[in-house]
Amino acid sequence: MDDFLKQLPDLAKDTQKQNKRFFAKLRKKPPAKLDQLMQELHENEFSRTDCLECANCCKTTGPLFTDRDIERLASHFRMKPGKFIDQYLRLDEDQDYVLQSVPCPFLGTDNYCSVYDVRPKACREYPHTDRKKFHQISNLTIKNVAICPAAFNIVEEMKRRLPNY
């Protein structure tokens, strides 16, 4: 996994143009069974991926925190939401709450998430490869393939399985 993670930014750069063309076509005319295909590819990839050997998403990028995430995490720490925000979060350029710094402060040295049961919704759903209408988040996916080895593999498999795109 370590070697793959080191190579991932370059691999993502090499495939970026192809991925942009692929997703542009996909957005114009998504295949009828795209949701079904994404479920299959996601399940296959994550059945052989051990996120505990990776944690690259938690180390290099963080989730957006919704109001409900903030309330849930603040309550977990028995803090007021405002205190939680002051301690851990900042507003980004889109006025969304994000982590003040990465790696995520809730990530342990063993790659376990110390707030797993109450983690933000975006962490639960990352890298979003099993979401419905996957073609609608293509810009985010093109970014995610440089961070997440599983997302990279899933997009490569998508291209193999949808050769006419």
Residues forming the site for ligand SF4 (CB under 6 A): 49, 51, 54-58, 62-63, 104, 106-107, 113, 115, 119-120, 123, 126-127, 147-150
Token code pair at residue 52: 């505990």
> In the complex with ligand SF4, which residue's Cβ is closer, 15 or 127?
127
Q: Which SS3 state, helix, strand or coil, does residue 97 take?
A: strand
> In the complex with ligand SF4, which residue's Cβ is closer, 1 or 165?
1
> In the complex with ligand SF4, which residue's Cβ is closer, 29 or 90?
90
CB of residue 153 to ligand SF4, shortest distance in Å: 9
Q: Which SS3 state, helix, strand or coil, does residue 89 take?
A: strand
Q: How far apart, in Å, do the first and last CA atoms of the chain sit?
A: 29
Measured CA angle at 53 (ends 91, 56), to 5 deg: 25
Integer Cα distance of 63 and 97 in angstroms: 9
CB of residue 99 to ligand SF4, shortest distance in Å: 7
CB of residue 162 to ligand SF4, shortest distance in Å: 22
